[in-house]
Amino acid sequence: MKRYTEMTREELVSLQQQLTREFESTKAKGLSLDMSRGKPGADQLDISMGMMQVLADGAELKCETGVDCRNYGVIDGIPEAKRLLGAMSEVDPDHIIIYGNSSLNVMFDSIARSMTHGVMGNTPWCKLDKVKFLCPVPGYDRHFKITEFFGIEMINVPMSPEGPDMDMVEKLVSEDDSIKGIWCVPKYSNPQGYTYSKETVERFARLRPAAPDFRIYWDNAYSIHHLYDENQDFLVEILGECVKAGNPDIVYKFTSTSKVSFPGSGIAAVAASKANLEDFRKYMTIQTIGHDKLNQLRHVKFFKDLDGLHTHMRKHADLIRPKFEMVLETLEKELGGLGIGEWTKPHGGYFISFESMEGCAKAIVSKAKEAGVVMTGAGATYPYGKDPKDSNIRIAPTYPTIGELEQAAKIFVLCVKLISVEKLLAE
């Protein structure tokens, strides 16, 4: 099949008619398929069900320091949970606080606290004329929603397979003291599946921001979420690099077990310098008497240690790897060489990032919905929902069954072809 851009007008018109017939026939099936969010499938949730039995009658319900986990106390996490999440985060347990069920909630709290009370004694952001955040794009829509909610101005920073454009990051943060942070998903990034290079992490650690209260929001959501045993990405540990660079306070490192155990019922954590953690604890003592220690204990008893986490994640990989491979094979078979789309081939995480021809993403997503496939809204991977090229589409393969996904992938490529032909004919 030749590239669409090399076709004559007559060939494009003929192709459009053929694709329209295919689309109408597909639409008539009345399908209802959901590829909108990166949710685990039911089979993935099933592999954690053993966690429900570990605190059955007769189980020890005290943590190792003797505190009864059914009662009040232990504001920043039981020691066993700190060790487990510390190992997952590659940090010493002394540098971690265990929170509730969601790292996104902790990020929201961190921004809210910075707005109302400032960071480590600095002026509260709400008292400043302007507050800005850097946003690597395409990126995680829920990050951008938090900063938008608080009226923080967001600045797009282009992503590459090495990570954000660090020349741009270094220049902006060193010159503008109203820039207070940057959102980062450093490993198997959402949506591209990129992992920041060693040089990128080192440059982050060496940043010299104009704002003393600038923080890197390092959301290491996919730290152990590999698709393959052999072909895994490696991410340099950021906190250690920051200490080496004489910059220990510059980063908040977030993690959770949301896509390890149960989304919405996992445990979240923040790793940071001792000074940052002390700043966190000041508001925690007002906010809560303690997070869910029974849930922390459940996770520790079920996973035991880092090896237990890795063993569990291999089970997840076995379930979702065929889904990723099937989508990638469909994209290659149906769209390869046509010049109407490019896509990432991640080694882990939860997404595939697709770049359509400029000006086509919204139309493709809308067309797919017409045929019964719900996808993440086009533009969602950019601040304010505005993709300047209208070309990025996030594909989330994990939630549907493999059969549903096969149907959804076929509908998606059909819509890409049809909308691309329409664009070329309109030109």
- CA 152/CA 149 separation, integer angstroms: 8
- CA 102/CA 270 separation, integer angstroms: 11
Rounded to the nearest integer, the mean pLDDT of the chain is 97
For residue 180, pLDDT beyond 90? yes
Predicted confidence band of residue 247 (pLDDT cuts 50, 70, 90): very high
The Cβ-side half-sphere exposure at 248, using a 13 Å CA radius, reads: 8
The residues, ordered by sequence, that sit 6+ positions from 297 with a Cβ below 8 Å of its Cβ are: 55, 61, 63, 69, 78, 80, 81
Strand ranges in 69-195 using DSSP code E only, listed in sequence order? 96-98, 132-137, 153-160, 163-164, 179-184
Backbone angles phi, psi at 219, to 5 degrees: -90, 90
* pLDDT score for 97: 98
* pLDDT score for 37: 87
* CATH tag, 62-304: 3.40.640.10
Above pLDDT 70, what percent of the chain?
100
- CA 71/CA 378 separation, integer angstroms: 46
Element (H, E) at 370: helix 361-370
At 287-320, the pLDDT tens digits run 999 999 999 999 999 999 999 999 999 999 999 9
Backbone angles phi, psi at 349, to 5 degrees: 85, -155
Burial class (CB in 10 A: 0-12, 13-18, 19+), 306: middle
Q: Where is pLDDT greater, at 1 or 210?
A: 210
- CA 409/CA 173 separation, integer angstroms: 41
Predicted confidence band of residue 103 (pLDDT cuts 50, 70, 90): very high
233: number of Cβ within 10 Å: 19
User: In the predicted model, what is the mean pLDDT of residues 250-261?
Assistant: 97
User: In the predicted model, what is the mean pLDDT of residues 354-360?
Assistant: 98
In order of 77, 196, 233, 253, 264, the CA distances from 300 in angstroms are: 12, 30, 26, 21, 17
Q: Is it true that domain 4-44+310-426 has CATH number 3.40.50.1820? A: no
Q: What are the residue boundaries of the structural domains of the chain, listed by start?
A: 4-44+310-426, 62-304
For residue 1, pLDDT beyond 90? no
